[in-house]
Amino acid sequence: MVLTNTRTLVLIIPHWRVIAAGAAHDHLAAVVNKDRVVDVTPDGAEFGITPGTPRREAQKLCADLKIIDDDEERNVRKFNSVVASLESVTPRIEITTGGWCSFPTRGPSRYFGGDQALARVVAERTLKALSVTLKTTEVPGVIQPRIGVADSRFAAVLAATSESLSRVQVVVPEGNAAFLAPFPVDVLASKYSPLPEAEELVHVFRRLGLKTLEDIGSLPSEELLARFGSPGLLAQQLAQGIDGRASLLRSISDVVSEESEINPPADHVETAVFVAKALADRIHQHLAIEGSVCVRILIEVESEHGDVSSRLWRHEHRFTPTGITDRVRWQLEGWYRSENP
């Protein structure tokens, strides 16, 4: 199989869950999911609170800490204004979650005069949308958007989230391997990695003395495949800067598409969501027969007046029918609120 990369721009807004929850960056607040911190304001982080900190421990570290329950619908809905601000750049924006989206750069980069110029345009428009969300004329540096561009999505994510002082990092074409080489193997198990259930694999790599992505990339592929199976091979492809997940998934015979007309038109979001659940189940069943999974889906909704809401969604591992249905709900809620602020 010949694996080809797609040059990709990734946009990530730090502390998005805190932003979406309405907590000011200079306040003491943390967003919690399942009794663990998933985001914390910069001021809260100064008390030693980090993502993963148990709720009770966070409250012990900072008695004045405001605890906010996580809400993914809110995270995505608030992000809608940012995505809308970029739709004139490209219609191919893929939303992974609130505060994180990406798109292939080929067309937009040519139009705007190169990757650096494209990244600047995206940064400027995102900052403008963010300033409206925050109701401020100046967005604090700690929550300004970070942008990465590289020959693979994984490398672009690491470029956007690296400790570089620059908020825009463009990896030169064909420079993925050199850029990725010094990163620790731990990034293969980060929330940004498409490698499923990677913690144990990374633990074994470390036990074997493999500390960096360069170490993984330099091993014979046959040995990795023989010892660790497909996950080991995918880990190496990621380390080498190759979008290699295609090697784990069979190509389906055609595009899987499902649609339904609601008659009379739905006057409640949940009515449409109920219909979407049946469509999601059918998509899942079709792919299961093919031995495939869904990692990218286009959801389109048309109103009785002909208005259309269209969004591309991506999952780093796989969508379940419930995951697809949730995104229909979030998209509808965001669309409704944008039309009825």
Direct distance between the N- and C-terminal alpha carbons of the chain, in angstroms, rounded to an integer:
49
In a domain, 260, yes or no: no
In a domain, 125, yes or no: yes
Q: Are residues 104 and 161 in the same domain?
A: yes
In a domain, 199, yes or no: yes
Boundary-marking domain end, from 176, 193, 222: 176
Per-residue pLDDT tens over the stretch 129-185: 999 998 888 898 889 999 999 999 999 999 999 877 789 999 999 999 999 999 999
pLDDT of residue 137: 86
In a domain, 256, yes or no: no
Boundary-marking domain end, from 176, 200, 219: 176
In a domain, 258, yes or no: no
| Residue 53, domain extent | 22-70
Instruction: Give the count of domains, the chain.
Output: 4
Q: Are residues 43 and 128 in the same domain?
A: no
Residues in the chain: 341
Q: What is the dihedral of CA 103, 105, 108, 109, to 10 degrees?
A: 150
d(CA 36, CA 47): 16
Binned at pLDDT 50, 70 and 90, residue 88 comes out as: very high
Binned at pLDDT 50, 70 and 90, residue 2 comes out as: very low
Q: Are residues 242 and 291 in the same domain?
A: no
User: Which residues 6+ apart lie within 8 Å of 58 measured at CB?
Assistant: 30, 32, 37, 40, 44, 49, 65, 67
Number of Cβ within a 10 Å radius of residue 324: 21
Q: Are residues 117 and 194 in the same domain?
A: no
CATH of the domain at 129: 3.30.70.270
In a domain, 261, yes or no: no
Binned at pLDDT 50, 70 and 90, residue 250 comes out as: very low
Provide, rounded to the nearest whole percent, the portion of the chain with pLDDT above 90: 74
Does residue 251 carry a pLDDT above 70? Answer: no
Tokens of 324: 């697809």
In a domain, 317, yes or no: yes
* Mean pLDDT of the 259-264 span: 91
Higher pLDDT, residue 252 or 201: 201
Q: Are residues 200 and 219 in the same domain?
A: yes
Residues 195, 231: contact at Cβ < 8 Å?
yes
Residues 71, 334: contact at Cβ < 8 Å?
no
Please choose, from the candidates 71, 86, 77, the residue with its C-alpha nearest in 3D space to the C-alpha of residue 123.
86
Number of Cβ within a 10 Å radius of residue 194: 21
Per-residue pLDDT tens over the stretch 182-220: 999 999 999 888 888 799 999 999 999 999 999 999 999
Boundary-marking domain end, from 158, 176, 194: 176
Q: Which of 48-62, 239-253, 289-303, 311-325 has the lowest mean pLDDT?
A: 239-253
Residues 131, 138: contact at Cβ < 8 Å?
yes
pTM, entire model: 0.88
Binned at pLDDT 50, 70 and 90, residue 317 comes out as: confident
Q: Is 84 exposed, middle or buried (0-12, 13-18, 19+ CB in 10 A)?
A: middle
Q: Are residues 78 and 162 in the same domain?
A: yes
Q: Are residues 168 and 194 in the same domain?
A: no
Q: Are residues 141 and 79 in the same domain?
A: yes
CATH of the domain at 43: 3.40.1170.60
Q: Are residues 44 and 115 in the same domain?
A: no
Q: Are residues 45 and 89 in the same domain?
A: no
Binned at pLDDT 50, 70 and 90, residue 102 comes out as: very high
Tokens of 214: 């360069």
Q: Are residues 167 and 226 in the same domain?
A: no
pLDDT of residue 335: 84
Number of Cβ within a 10 Å radius of residue 90: 18
Residues 13, 19: contact at Cβ < 8 Å?
yes
User: Which residues 6+ apart lie within 8 Å of 186 measured at CB?
Assistant: 202
What is the enclosing helix (H) or strand (E) of 73? Answer: helix 72-86
Q: Are residues 140 and 219 in the same domain?
A: no
CATH of the domain at 235: 1.10.150.20
Per-residue pLDDT tens over the stretch 61-73: 999 999 999 999 9
In a domain, 257, yes or no: no
* Mean pLDDT of the 40-67 span: 96
